Structure 1
Amino acid sequence: MKQKRTLALLLTGVMTLSALAMTGCGGGTEETAEGGAASGEQVIIYSNADDEAVEAMKATLDANGYANQYMFQTFGTSELGGKVLAEGTNIEADLITLSTFYVDSAQEQQNMFQDLNFTYKLLDGSEKTYCAPITSQEGAIIVNTEMLAENNLPMPTCLKDLTNPVYKDMISVTDIKSSSTAWLLIQALVSEYGEEGAKEVLTGIYENAGPHIESSGSAPLKKVRAGEVAIGFGLRQQAVADKAEGLPIDYVDPTEGNFSLTESVAVVDKGDATNPLAQEMAQCIIEKGRSELQKYYPNALYEGETTSSENASAYPKTFAEPLTVELLESHQALSESCK
């Protein structure tokens, strides 16, 4: 489970204490890491990335001369997304890695990111001036093959199959209020069946999930691994890795589609106060870090990259509407109506 660091400011009527708290939040202490810059000079990186992605980015930065010149703080996706939208350029971070739909919405609402000072080419031609994707993650049905056999359950072929009463209490899914992983499932349902049809299917899935509607995007996979349930919906690449390691895990590409979400890096525009190393580190992560990131998030994104055959999904699809915070909120409301 991702470690989260929360910096709390105690707002009281005592102005001295408030000022001291604000100073601490700004990261302006003069402590230095051995051989590194003062923390006030470090690039502050806020990220919603999983541990594997954070470690890959750290390894890349360290190997390219930036050791001790940055500090990562990790958050949940909705937590960091809300923070970015609320604080804009007043945010403490110099560099952000975050789900791209949040970055896009923040740029539209706050115009808070600098144009990147390097260029790149994506396979799908969707380049943007102010951010560049670091990872792509697809959804899939994940199954415990031993549990299916023990309980004489059929192998599902699509998301609609998961409404079959035979799967009662044998399914684990994520709540879209808590994790964007669930959005991959809901995008597939809305795209295939329309909003009303999606409600009908999602209601059936939730009925079968019962107590297994999770707040963590990785919880369904963990429950499938542990044999607590037979079927889950989660990130495809994690199931591929489990199967390769010999676990009784398999994956099904739902015929409704394998939808994906990307996470991107962006530099906060603080005018003259912008840390110049932030642009350098963003470029380093994209140009030097993708090979390391692809070990855990194998989908090819950039020209010259390829996706291995086992990691190439059968039904890759893109949602017809642009992914925005407003669309997410609409699908969250749809999900709530199905419970």
Structure 2
Amino acid sequence: MTLKVKKIMTMLLCLILLYFSYFGLGSSTDKVVIATNADEEAIAAIKKALNHHGYKGEYIIQPQSTAELGGKMMAEGKNIEADIVTQATYYLESAQQENDMFASIDNKAKESTIDNYPSYITPLLGNMGSIFVNTKALEKQGLPVPKTVKDLTKSEYKNQIAMPNIMDSSTGWLVIQSILGSYGNEEGSKILAQLIENVGPHLESSGSGPLEKVESGEVAVGIGLRAQAVKSEDKGNPIRYIDPKEGNYSLIEAAAVVNKGGDKQQKAQEMVQTIQQHGREDLLKMYPVPLYKNEKVAKNQRPTYPKKWNDSLSVDLLEKHQDIFKEAQKQVENN
């Protein structure tokens, strides 16, 4: 076979693959693409709402980390592949300011939100932080039950704590907010450095990582998502969640429709309303943070010390707190 013939055959093969990619079997060009930072439980609730209300087989869900999806929104704007994005509201708002990429949605349900949100944001769920412990591992290690994040800076907890890394996980930001919000930047930075020292090799890249290590007994204490710890305890695991006195801070995740125009955008808007209308009940059970008026959660699921950051959350604020975290890490490394 001559080189020329090989080149022609290669070109034909590429054209065939391109054809099937766009027009052949497995084509997804007519489906609504949903890019999401949600965890498995939230994705299951989204799928249930859509599948049971006329949209089964009409969408594709692309799970991504908060940082990865946030970076894509900031860099690509309206050119992002997704038609719907579900993401932390601070990323949605920052991306809108940077790229003007989301469409307003006329949704009457949003008029009943507890807090005010821009017209392009439809709140879906609230993630809240807490401490949690493995009671058996705590007893085995002879450790007291911590009541505050600051308690975890004591030497006896060294290498017995798992927490999410703010550089990779938005859950890690909840930890930083509780420290800086309670103690200020100066004292808070010292506490953060001591906490990082005690965490040692158990700084996790995902929000669910700490609970997995605590459930396995690899460490006795974790800092992470309150809802996950509540669920684990309800399953009968030796897990106990603790509301730290520094406060249960929360991050809201919401849906937004990319402003691309056309029938597909209209369909995407209808799908967001379907998720909010028919998925919110399940989401509230899994993430017991009221977002809409008249929503109630069980007494045992109510946080003891609910708090919010004084100023609006934004990517700029996140980056400032990440810088404080990195500086605390350097202090630990240099000691």
Q: Give me the TM-score of the superposition, normalised by structure 2.
A: 0.90
Deviations 1:161-184 (A, max 9, x none): 110001111111111111111100
Matched with 1:300 is 290
Corresponding position: 1:157 with 2:151: no
Matched with 1:172 is 162
Corresponding position: 1:262 with 2:245: no
Matches within 5 A, 1:96-175: 96-119=85-108, 120-175=110-165
Whether contact under 8 Å (1:121, 1:127) holds in the other structure is no
Q: Distance in 2 between matches of 1:213 and 1:68?
A: 38
Q: Aligned to 1:239, what secondary structure does the other structure show?
A: helix
Q: Aligned to 1:31, what secondary structure does the other structure show?
A: coil
Whether contact under 8 Å (2:77, 2:95) holds in the other structure is yes
- Which residue identity is paired with 1:66? Y
Q: Aligned to 2:131, what secondary structure does the other structure show?
A: strand
Q: Distance in 2 between matches of 1:121 and 1:298?
A: 20
Whether contact under 8 Å (1:157, 1:254) holds in the other structure is yes
Q: Distance in 2 between matches of 1:241 and 1:296?
A: 8
Corresponding position: 1:311 with 2:301: yes
Distance 1:279 1:148, change over 3 A: same
Matched with 1:225 is 215
User: Which of 22, 28, 33 is the matching residue for 2:22?
Assistant: 28
Distance 1:186 1:122, change over 3 A: farther
Whether contact under 8 Å (2:259, 2:265) holds in the other structure is no
Q: Aligned to 1:338, what secondary structure does the other structure show?
A: helix
Deviations 1:254-282 (A, max 9, x none): 11110000111000001347532101001
Whether contact under 8 Å (1:30, 1:39) holds in the other structure is no
Q: Distance in 1 between matches of 2:249 and 2:17?
A: 42
How many pairs were matched up? 317
Aligned-pair identity in percent equals 43
Matched with 1:4 is none
Q: Distance in 2 between matches of 1:21 and 1:318?
A: 54
Displacement after TM superposition at 1:122 (Å): 4.4
Corresponding position: 1:239 with 2:239: no
Matches within 5 A, 1:315-330: 315-330=305-320
Q: Aligned to 1:141, what secondary structure does the other structure show?
A: strand
Q: Aligned to 1:295, what secondary structure does the other structure show?
A: helix
Q: Give me the TM-score of the superposition, normalised by structure 1.
A: 0.89
Aligned-pair RMSD on alpha carbons?
2.1
Whether contact under 8 Å (1:240, 1:310) holds in the other structure is no
User: Which of 59, 83, 91 is the matching residue for 1:70?
Assistant: 59
Q: Aligned to 1:275, what secondary structure does the other structure show?
A: helix
Matched with 1:83 is 72
- Which residue identity is paired with 1:238? Q
Q: Aligned to 1:254, what secondary structure does the other structure show?
A: coil
Gaps spanning 5+ residues in structure 1: where?
Answer: 1-15, 33-37
Displacement after TM superposition at 1:320 (Å): 0.8
Distance 1:282 1:124, change over 3 A: same
Deviations 1:263-311 (A, max 9, x none): 1100000134753210100100111110122232222211232111111
Gaps spanning 5+ residues in structure 2: where?
Answer: 1-10, 330-335
Q: Which runs of 4+ in 1 moved over 4 A?
A: 19-25
Larger gyration radius, structure 1 or structure 2? 2
Distance 1:186 1:21, change over 3 A: farther
